[in-house]
Amino acid sequence: MKKAVLALSTAAVLVSCGSGEQVDQNIEALQQRKDSLKTIYEDIAAQIALVDEQLKALDTTIVLPLVTTKTVENKPFAHFVEIQGAVETGGNATIYPEAMGTITSIVAKEGQKVNQGDVILRIDAGMIQSTLKEVETNYELANEIFEKQERLWKQKIGSEVDYLKAKTNKEALEQKQKTLREQLEMYVVRAPFSGTLDEIMPKVGEAANPAMPVARVINYDNTYIEADVSEDYITTIKEGTLAKVYFPSLGKEIDAKIDRTGSFINPKNRTFKIHISLNELKENLQPNLLGDIRIRDFFQEQAIVIPSNVIQQDRQGNEYIYLLEIKGAKRLVKKAVLKSGLSYDKETIVLSGLEGDEVYIDKGARSVQTGDEVDIMK
């Protein structure tokens, strides 16, 4: 029995030892197989990547960024200064009476053409007229007495004192008549200059006094627009500078020139005055009508011009645009650094960096970068 147990124990030990060696041999074989498969995998992965690159090159369904392109233009470029001004006229007078009283008659009508000195209305001057009539009567008597005294004096008849009294009395009444007639003229309202009677404020029977206006006369013969311009443009905006004036209320624009520039800088807003004649539109313009003025302060007959919105700026502050570069069948993005000048009406003049015949990327320029392959939007 003991021999049998010993035999079994020995056999178990031998079997146990045999199984350990087999496990060790299996791990080593598996590791070798893993390493072999890994090498094969890496080789296949490299081949797959190569095939992917080849497919990518041949695949026409690949979606490229869509852009639009334009050719850089050589054309005239103008820059304008935009300001607002108000219409003025050679004469725009609000008329005040010189005397107080009741309005007895209105001679002219609103809208009527009047000449300088024409009567517009009259104010009651009854008291002065009565006084003047009395003085005129006294003057007639005084004049007769003077003439008699003068004849007698020439004949050496009568005293010098009587002659001088008659002369003084006559001259005093002459002066009084003159004064009364001048006062009487104050009760007549006349046009201060030729023009159009734009408005009559009071009515017949209403009171007039020097503190209240009674009429307005406008002369359209010298109609102009005046505006304030920043002193920054004092060297570029001068007499003869071209301008355009647009009246929004009328829907009309005219070409004009600056007739005169002011010689004084307003210290409050650092501006100077400009004056533009508008005689060709004078019949349609009214004083204080607002107008938009565009003054051409720069012009170049041939300039490299591009849209302002295609110009970008990098971190270093350099301005640039993207150009389209053709390489074989590929359309690639190329960066072009430039220096820009003045901008107006969504366009910018290029001072350097472009020759003038380049093709640049317009729409889509901000979604691409240098070296990208792009497709042109049809």
Q: How many CB atoms lie within 10 A of CB 361?
A: 25
Residues in contact with 308: Cβ distance below 8 Å, sequence separation at least 6, in sequence order: 343, 346, 347, 348
pLDDT of residue 9 exceeding 50, the answer is no
Residue 2 has a pLDDT of 40
Using CA atoms, how far residue 261 sits from 13, 83, 276, in Å, is 122, 15, 9
Check for a shared fold between 81-90+218-299 and 95-217.
no
Q: How many CB atoms lie within 10 A of CB 312?
A: 13
CATH number of 66-76+301-376: 2.40.420.20
Class of domain 81-90+218-299: mainly beta
Please name the amino acid found at residue 251: G
Q: What angle do CA 252, 253, 254 make, to 5 degrees?
A: 125
pLDDT of residue 20 exceeding 60, the answer is no
Mean pLDDT of the chain: 88
Buried/exposed 102-124: b ≥16 CB within 10 Å, e otherwise: ebeebebeeeeebeeeeebbbbb
Residue 23 has a pLDDT of 53
What's the pTM value of the predicted model, to 2 decimals?
Answer: 0.64
Mean of pLDDT values over 107-128: 93
Residue 153 has a pLDDT of 79
Mean of pLDDT values over 171-186: 93
**Among 120, 128, 73, residue whose Cα is nearest residue 100:** 128
Per the CB < 8 A criterion, the answer to whether 222 and 132 are in contact is no
Per the CB < 8 A criterion, the answer to whether 302 and 339 are in contact is no
**Among 301, 295, 193, residue whose Cα is nearest residue 238:** 295
Helix (H/G/I), strand (E/B), else coil: 210? coil
C-alpha 276, offset from chain centre: 16
Mean of pLDDT values over 215-239: 93
* Higher per-residue confidence, 67 vs 49: 67
Q: How many CB atoms lie within 10 A of CB 31?
A: 10
Residue 171 has a pLDDT of 92
For 342-368, how does the pLDDT look when each residue is reduced to its tens digit (9 = 90+)?
999 999 999 999 998 999 999 999 999
Residue 286 has a pLDDT of 87
For 182-211, how does the pLDDT look when each residue is reduced to its tens digit (9 = 90+)?
999 999 999 999 999 999 999 999 999 999
Q: How many CB atoms lie within 10 A of CB 185?
A: 13
**116/195 Cα distance (integer angstroms):** 8
**293/290 Cα distance (integer angstroms):** 10
β-pairing, 271-277 vs 290-307, is: unpaired
Domain boundaries, the chain: 1-59, 66-76+301-376, 81-90+218-299, 95-217
Taking domain 95-217, whether its CATH number is 2.130.10.10 is answered by: no
